[in-house]
Structure formats: C-alpha cells, structure tokens
Structure 1
Amino acid sequence: MESTNAVFQKDFVEKLLPQKFPFVMVDKLYSYTETALVSGLKIENDNLFFHEGNFVESGLIEHMAQSVALHTGYQFYLKQEPAPTGYIGSIKDVVIKKMPKLNDEIQTTVTILQEFGGITLVDIVTKLNDVEIAKGQMKTVLAK
C-alpha cells in the first residue's frame, strides 16, 4: 500500500486537480493512503468563496469535493497516468456547523467507503483547529 505523510503545497496540489486558478479550493496534501486523504486550505481574501469575512457554504462544499478529486488525482499520479475527470453524483447528510474566517486553515479528511466501477462513495469531515466544522457524504463518478 502506497502512503505518504509529506505535506505537498499549492503548486504541486494544483497539478493534481482538474480545477484551475482561481477556482482551486485545496492548497495542501497532508497525507494519502489508498482509502483516505487529508487535505488543507488556507482561507485568503482573494478566494472566490470568501465573502463579508467568511468562507461561504458553497466554498466549503467545493473544498470537500476537490479534496475527493485530489485523492483520485494523486492515485493516478502515483501510477504515472493522467487523472480522469470526475463529477459529483450526489451529496448527502451535509452538516455545516461553522464557517471559516480569513486566514483560518481548514483540514479535510476524505475516507473511501466504497469504490466500484468508477463510482466512489466517500465520507468527508472538515476541521478547524481540530474541531469538526462540517461533514457529509459524496458519491463521485469518473468520466469514461
């Protein structure tokens, strides 16, 4: 099983995502295994989803989705293959308890629950200072 605990920063992380600036909502890769990933994002005032002092709900959900995409992107990077484009199939049970503010650094853990035929079900938990601020489940589908 391939695993890493190194922290990868913005420039490398952006290469693994289909999204491009200014729509990138993940800037760190803290850890990766075949079944999990921990990503991060520092909230900056030039972020598209930063509004009136807060990172807004849609930004948090996009960050969660891009964390899932980062898992796929890194998986394919390790195989030295181009990552396929993926789509959100569904989002459910999303609970947002608190919105991050300017300069906050959020960390998101993606856990693969099931993977079959290009469809992946994941559990996602986002924390700020080790306190859970958001969670949910997503089903993603890889384009063929």
Structure 2
Amino acid sequence: MELKEDNIINIHHFLPHREPMLMADYILELTPENVITSFVITSDNIFVQNDQFVEAGLIEHSAQTSSSILGQSFFANPESNTKVIGFITNIKKIEIFGLPKVGDKIISKASLISQYENICNIFCETFLGEQLLIRTEISLFIQELKS
C-alpha cells in the first residue's frame, strides 16, 4: 500500500496508548468495520531484542490496530478529554510466520467480525511488504473511564 500524506490519520485520536507502549504510528484507512495501520520498528522499542521485533510486540501491535476500530467511537472528537481502558479478552488464534527487524515498516489490516456493545471480535493480519508476519483473531473490550 502506498502511503500518501493526505490519507494518513493520527493514531493518537483513536487509541489511549502512548510511548513506550504505542505500537502503531499511523492509521492509513479507517471505517466502522476495517482499519489499516503502519508501524516502523525502531531500535529503542521495548519489544526489540537482537534487532528483531519479538512475538509479543507483533501481538500488541495487532491488538492496537484492532482496537482502533472500536476505539474510534470514543475518540471521534480529537479535542475531547476522553479516557478509556481496554483489554484483550480472548485470543482465538495466533499464527506467527516471521519477525520484522529494526527499520522495517509493517502494515496491518484488521476487520470487524462481530460486536456486542463494547466487546468485539476482530481478524487482523500484519505484513512486511508481501510477507505475512502474523494472523490473529482477537476479542477486545474497551470502556470509557468516568471521572
């Protein structure tokens, strides 16, 4: 997928995560049922060991990509001071085929399978170029924190 400045969305508007736990740089496409994100692996990432992004990092990246589908309803207004909490409630399936290295840009594509209120089931795949790195089916829960 070609990255174009005019269709890049700041992920901070859709996820509560911040450094050092933010595992996605940009949202390239976002609809109520689908999301595509990008992430460049840097040497200072907490999930990098021996210049590779480890399995736990790929899983966290998949979860954050997936949660932006549900999270968009909480962060529709970029000026809002909404605080949310989210959890992985279930991982139905994980297949890991490869690990990216420092400097690689990975692209993830997630699709909503089902949703009931603040719980959703999402299918996500992450690629390095044409190479599939990870395939997951994950369930997530997100809830707004009341002050």
TM class by shorter chain equals 0.7 to 0.9
Higher helix share: 1
Instruction: Give the Å deviation of 1:15.
Output: 4.3
C-alpha displacement of 1:130: 2.4
Q: Which amino acid aligns with 2:103?
A: N
1:102-128 deviation per Cα after TM superposition (whole angstroms, max 9, x unaligned): 111001111000011211000010011
Provide the aligned C-alpha RMSD in A.
1.9
TM-score, normalised via structure 2 length: 0.84
Say which structure, 1 or 2, has more relative contact order (CA 8 Å, 6+ apart): 2
Q: Distance in 2 between matches of 1:52 and 1:119?
A: 36
Q: Give the count of matched residue pairs.
A: 137
Q: How far apart, CA to CA, are the structure 2 residues paired with 1:139 and 1:115?
A: 9
Q: Secondary structure at the match of 2:64?
A: helix
1:114 is aligned to 2:135:
no
Which residue is 1:87 aligned to? 87
Aligned to 1:7: 8
Instruction: Give 1:129's aligned residue.
Output: 129
Determine what percentage of the aligned residue pairs are the same residue.
Answer: 25
Change (3 A) 1:15 1:35: closer
List 4+ stretches of structure 1 deviating above 6 A: none
Question: Which of 18, 36, 42 is matched with 2:34 structurally?
Answer: 36
Per-residue deviation, 1:79: 5.7
Q: Which runs of 5+ in 2 are unaligned?
A: 1-5
How many Å apart are 1:83 and its aligned residue? 5.9
Q: 1:97 aligns to what?
A: 97
Contact 1:27/1:41 (<8 A) preserved:
yes
Q: Which residue of structure 2 aligns with residue 62 of structure 1?
A: 60
Contiguous gaps of at least 5 residues in structure 1: none
- Distance in structure 2 (CA, Å) of the matches to 1:79 and 1:129: 33
**Residue type at the aligned position of 1:39:** T
